[in-house]
């Protein structure tokens, strides 16, 4: 009887092991094959740990084909294969401080041997949430980029990686070098990409990490360039053995020769110092412009790493401490639909207020009705929301098991919530769209975009003022704004002489804004601030776009086929060119930068800046714009190629790195003193 029970139990465990392997393989296929996350990292890691534990408990059911013995595989058929000189292995991870402590104990025990009390130093690196990549340099030149692949062989993605501007194409050392690091996407670039996709009626990307993985595998390098990937190095393989003493010195050398380097600690001794560094960055990571999901802890000495060795899947000298996801549970009280400037109607979940990542959350992104259907969302549902690199959180799961028995499926609107026109879905689009070009919400969104700080920067003209102007029939498009007078504004409610005069003065000042700000402000589909700068740099006057063919537009850097088609459609409409000419008549700047490298040269020509801390006189965006207008560049990380670090209050580790590298540090007063001509 007891043997039968034992057999039954063994059968149950065998079935559970088989089920876990099947599910994990399914999730791996989605993640590595389609750049799609079917479950959260925490859920995946929990399943993986359960499988590993069961295989240890029942070794008779272990198998070399188990996902616990394999490095994740992102190989595809479309790219040439390259064998890694040294395997790119996976890293064991944990969410538990006690498991980090146990790992440190194992390391200390393994290295003790006959030398009790051997000095062991660790280094903590921020775990940038992107995709691992290897860069090969020969004769001082970048020659190849390879994904991790299956750890032994990776995909050759050189053409796409070459578009990443933070990667140096030439380095001051001739010996063969392999630089390993993380390709990632900043929150702002991810949001801008998704905004463009939603505006174009396409499905938005899921999160920055999956977007990076998919971008590296694009067959069109021009499209990869438009997505604006970034890179941070964490390891150098070199034929020069002097580069292979310790990770700390290795990273320092990488920064000295011009690579952006993963943010890392000073040398750490023991568990307390390690967990202190991890705890410090758990909140500080929110100040970073890119996603960080933990800290990678490594033994610093290469000699000690060699003695610790590796398992079939991962090195014994490294572990990742991952932060618990920023997730909260709340209730969907309603779904509101907003109309954008291109007519796309976007749903936003209105939530019962909940604390998430230190802020109170009341709204969550849904993007489009297809997302509502995918989630199976209904009003009153209990949902999990998570921050994933977007401006507002995202609904990631509906707790169907907690749903009320009388709930009914949610039906999308059939008419525009602004003008009442029937909504349509264009071929190939997932978005609902209002096709009425006289729709008040579209006009309001269009004008709000035009006067925004990133476009024409008309201070004092917020959404409430725009609504008043439209309701009063005083404006019908952006050109009408420049016919406003203080007297006409005083006819509106809550306007005093000073506020009216301020808006008229702001409109007058906006006339001197550079052409790229005007192009961006026009709201041409798929034209963001970066491509607007490229367009302004390609013409002497905006009127050149009136007749420019799609093929000519495609030749402009940063402009692909779809963007070129969108530009052509915009300027083919007489009402649009008429508005542009009315803006010209009002005195707005229409002159481009053709022959000037796309940006006017100035006091910052050829100089690279890094901004850190809080500035008093300028926002980060304003300071960056001043640098760009002066012909300079703005980088997110400090290296030996950085010319200046502009430091405000609470500057953080970038200031320390600048001082250690001998990079010039300036305060805001010194920065303003360099401006011989105030940028416009």
CA distance 89 to 60: 26
CA distance 378 to 382: 9
Is residue 633 among the annotated active site residues? no
pLDDT tens digit sequence for 54-84: 877 877 777 776 777 665 555 667 788 999 9
* Residue 454 DSSP label: T
Write down the catalytic residue from 127, 228, 517, 633. 127
Q: Answer whether residue 529 is part of any domain.
A: no
pLDDT tens digit sequence for 525-580: 888 877 888 899 899 999 999 999 999 998 887 788 888 998 998 999 999 999 99
CB 320 within 8 A of CB 48: no
Among 322, 343, 371, the domain-final residue is: 322
CB 479 within 8 A of CB 582: yes
Same domain, yes or no: 233 and 159: yes
Burial of 562 (0-12, 13-18, 19+ CB in 10 A): middle
Q: Report CA-CA distances (Å) from 170 to 138, 445, 564, 631, 639.
A: 9, 45, 32, 22, 15
Sheet containing 141-147: give its strands across.
Answer: 141-147, 131-138, 177-184, 230-238
Q: What is the pLDDT of residue 114?
A: 46
Same domain, yes or no: 103 and 157: yes
Q: What is the pLDDT of residue 582?
A: 96
Query: 131-138 and 141-147 as β-strands: parallel, antiparallel, unpaired?
Result: antiparallel
> Mean pLDDT, to the nearest integer, of 506-515?
93
| pLDDT beyond 90 at 112 | no
Q: Convert 227-259 to b/e letters by CB count within 10 Å (16 or more is b).
A: bbbbbbbbbbbbeeeebbebbbebbebbbbbbb
Q: Answer whether residue 554 is part of any domain.
A: no
Same domain, yes or no: 101 and 170: yes
Q: Answer whether residue 543 is part of any domain.
A: no
- CATH code (residue 474): 1.10.150.20
| pLDDT beyond 70 at 595 | no
The H or E element that residue 504 is part of is: helix 497-510
Quickly count: other Cβ atoms within 10 Å of residue 292's Cβ: 20
Q: How many residues does the chain have?
A: 680
| pLDDT beyond 90 at 415 | yes
69-73, 109-113, 447-451, 524-528: least confidently modelled range: 69-73
- CATH code (residue 632): 3.40.50.10190
27-41, 239-253, 392-406, 467-481: least confidently modelled range: 27-41
| pLDDT beyond 80 at 385 | yes
Q: Answer whether residue 542 is part of any domain.
A: no
pLDDT tens digit sequence for 311-361: 877 899 999 999 887 788 999 999 999 898 888 898 999 999 988 866 788
Across-strand partners of 359? Answer: 356
Same domain, yes or no: 489 and 617: no
Same domain, yes or no: 202 and 255: yes
Q: Answer whether residue 74 is part of any domain.
A: no
| pLDDT beyond 90 at 174 | no
Same domain, yes or no: 245 and 220: yes
Q: What is the pLDDT of residue 31?
A: 62
Same domain, yes or no: 17 and 150: no
* Residue 541 DSSP label: B
CA distance 567 to 561: 10
Same domain, yes or no: 346 and 248: no
CA distance 519 to 535: 8
Contacts of 101 by beta carbon, 8 Å cutoff, 6+ apart: 271
Same domain, yes or no: 648 and 634: yes
Q: Answer whether residue 6 is part of any domain.
A: yes
Contacts of 232 by beta carbon, 8 Å cutoff, 6+ apart: 128, 166, 181, 182, 184, 260, 261, 262, 263, 637
Among 510, 533, 558, the domain-final residue is: 510
Among 510, 535, 562, the domain-final residue is: 510
- CATH code (residue 17): 1.10.287.610
Phi, psi of 497 (to 5 degrees): -60, -40
407-416, 487-496, 564-573, 623-632: least confidently modelled range: 623-632
Q: What is the pLDDT of residue 549?
A: 93
| pLDDT beyond 70 at 4 | no
3 state SS for 70-82: CCCCCCCCCCCEE
Phi, psi of 405 (to 5 degrees): -65, -25
Angle between helices 41-57 and 2-28 (to 10 degrees): 140
Query: 186 lies in which domain range?
Result: 81-322
> Mean pLDDT, to the nearest integer, of 223-240?
86
C-alpha triplet 270, 273, 277: angle, nearest 5°: 140
- Long-range contact set of residues 339-342: C-beta below 8 Å, sequence gap at least 24: 339/416, 339/417, 339/418, 339/434, 339/439, 339/441, 339/442, 339/445, 340/198, 340/199, 340/442, 340/445, 341/442, 341/445, 341/446, 341/448, 341/449, 341/523, 342/199, 342/433, 342/442, 342/523, 342/525
| pLDDT beyond 70 at 35 | no
- CATH code (residue 388): 2.40.50.140
The DSSP code sequence of 268-311 is B-HHHHHHHHHHHHHHHGGGSSS-EEEEEEEESBHHHHHHH-B-
C-alpha triplet 626, 128, 326: angle, nearest 5°: 100
- CATH code (residue 85): 3.30.470.30
Q: What is the pLDDT of residue 69?
A: 65
* 3-state SS class at 385: strand
Burial of 177 (0-12, 13-18, 19+ CB in 10 A): buried
Radius of gyration of the chain (CA): 28
Same domain, yes or no: 264 and 341: no
| pLDDT beyond 90 at 16 | no
CB 641 within 8 A of CB 676: no
Contacts of 528 by beta carbon, 8 Å cutoff, 6+ apart: 192, 195, 196, 520
Q: What is the pLDDT of residue 581?
A: 96
Q: What is the pLDDT of residue 578?
A: 95
The H or E element that residue 505 is part of is: helix 497-510
CA distance 545 to 571: 7
Q: What is the pLDDT of residue 326?
A: 77
pLDDT tens digit sequence for 234-261: 999 887 766 668 999 999 899 888 899 9
> Mean pLDDT, to the nearest integer, of 445-466?
91
* % of the chain with per-residue pLDDT over 90: 38
Half-sphere CA count of 240, side-chain side, radius 13 A = 11
If one counts the domains in the chain, the total is: 5
Question: What is the average pLDDT score of the chain?
Answer: 85
pLDDT tens digit sequence for 138-155: 999 999 999 998 888 999
* % of the chain with per-residue pLDDT over 70: 90
* Residue 33 DSSP label: I
Look at residues 370, 367, 366 and name the one whose alpha carbon lies nearest to residue 381: 366
| pLDDT beyond 60 at 444 | yes
Same domain, yes or no: 284 and 307: yes
CA distance 627 to 619: 12
CA distance 459 to 64: 64
Same domain, yes or no: 190 and 232: yes
C-alpha triplet 548, 550, 556: angle, nearest 5°: 80
Look at residues 366, 310, 362, 318 and name the one whose alpha carbon lies nearest to residue 338: 366
């Amino acid at each position: 009887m007891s043997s039968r029970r034992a057999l039954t139990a063994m059968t149950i465990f065998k079935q559970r092991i088989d089920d876990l392997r099947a599910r994990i393989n399914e999730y791996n296929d989605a993640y590595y094959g389609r750049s799609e996350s079917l479950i959260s990292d925490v859920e995946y890691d929990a399943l993986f740990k359960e499988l590993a534990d069961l295989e240890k408990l029942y070794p008779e059911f272990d198998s070399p084909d188990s996902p616990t013995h394999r490095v994740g595989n992102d190989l595809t058929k479309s790219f040439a294969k390259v064998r890694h000189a040294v395997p790119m292995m996976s890293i064991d991870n944990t969410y538990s401080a006690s498991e980090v402590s146990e790992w440190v104990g194992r390391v200390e025990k393994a290295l003790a041997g006959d030398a009790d009390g051997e000095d062991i130093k660790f280094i903590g690196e921020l775990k940038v949430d992107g995709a691992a990549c290897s860069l090969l340099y020969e004769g001082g030149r970048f020659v190849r980029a390879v994904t991790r692949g299956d750890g032994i062989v990776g995909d050759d993605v050189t053409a796409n990686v070459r578009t990443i501007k933070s990667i140096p194409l030439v380095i001051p050392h001739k010996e063969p070098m392999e630089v390993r690091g993380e390709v990632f996407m900043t929150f702002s670039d991810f949001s801008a990409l998704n905004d463009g996709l939603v505006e174009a009626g396409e499905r938005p990307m899921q999160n920055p990490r999956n977007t990076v993985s998919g971008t590296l595998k694009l067959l069109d390098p021009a499209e990869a360039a438009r997505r604006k990937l970034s890179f941070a190095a964490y390891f150098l393989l070199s034929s020069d053995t002097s580069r292979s003493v310790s990770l700390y010195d290795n990273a320092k050398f990488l920064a000295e020769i011009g690579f952006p380097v993963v943010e890392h600690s000073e040398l750490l001794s023991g568990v307390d110092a390690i967990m202190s560094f991890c705890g410090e960055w758990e909140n500080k990571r929110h100040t970073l412009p890119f996603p960080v999901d933990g800290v990678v802890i490594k033994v610093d000495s290469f000699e000690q790493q060699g003695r610790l060795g590796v398992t079939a899947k991962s090195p014994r000298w490294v572990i990742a401490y991952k932060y618990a996801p920023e997730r909260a549970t709340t209730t969907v009280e309603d779904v509101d639909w907003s109309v954008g400037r291109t007519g796309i109607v976007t749903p936003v979940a209105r939530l019962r207020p909940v604390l998430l990542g230190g802020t109170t959350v009341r709204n969550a992104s849904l993007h489009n009705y297809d997302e509502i259907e995918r989630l199976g969302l209904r009003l009153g549902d209990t949902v999990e929301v998570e921050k994933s690199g977007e401006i507002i959180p995202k609904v990631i799961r509906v707790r169907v098991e907690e749903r009320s028995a009388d709930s009914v499926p949610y039906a999308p609107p059939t008419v525009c919530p602004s003008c009442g026109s029937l909504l349509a879905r264009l071929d190939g689009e997932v978005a609902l769209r209002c096709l009425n070009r006289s729709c008040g919400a579209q006009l309001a969104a269009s004008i709000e975009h035009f006067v925004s700080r990133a476009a024409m920067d008309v201070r004092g003209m917020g959404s409430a003022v725009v609504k008043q102007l439209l309701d009063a029939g005083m404006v019908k498009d952006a050109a009408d704004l420049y016919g406003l007078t203080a007297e006409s504004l005083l006819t509106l409610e809550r306007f005093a002489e000073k506020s009216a005069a301020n808006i008229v003065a702001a409109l007058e000042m906006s006339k001197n804004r550079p052409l790229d700000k005007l192009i961006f402000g026009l709201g041409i589909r798929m034209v963001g601030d970066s491509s607007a700068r490229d367009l302004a740099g390609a013409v002497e006057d905006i009127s050149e776009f009136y007749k420019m063919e799609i093929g000519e537009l495609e030749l402009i850097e940063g402009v692909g086929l779809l963007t070129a088609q969108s530009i052509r459609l915009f300027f083919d409409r007489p009402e649009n060119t008429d508005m542009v000419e009315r803006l010209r008549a009002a005195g707005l700047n229409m002159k481009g930068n053709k022959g000037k490298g796309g940006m006017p040269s100035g006091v910052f020509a050829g100089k690279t800046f890094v901004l850190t801390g809080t500035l008093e006189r300028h926002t980060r965006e304003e300071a960056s714009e001043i640098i760009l207008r002066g012909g300079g560049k703005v980088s997110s990380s400090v290296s030996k190629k950085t010319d200046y670090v502009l430091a405000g209050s609470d500057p953080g580790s970038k200031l320390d790195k600048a001082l250690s590298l001998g990079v010039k540090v300036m305060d805001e007063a010194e920065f303003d003193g360099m401006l011989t001509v105030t940028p416009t």
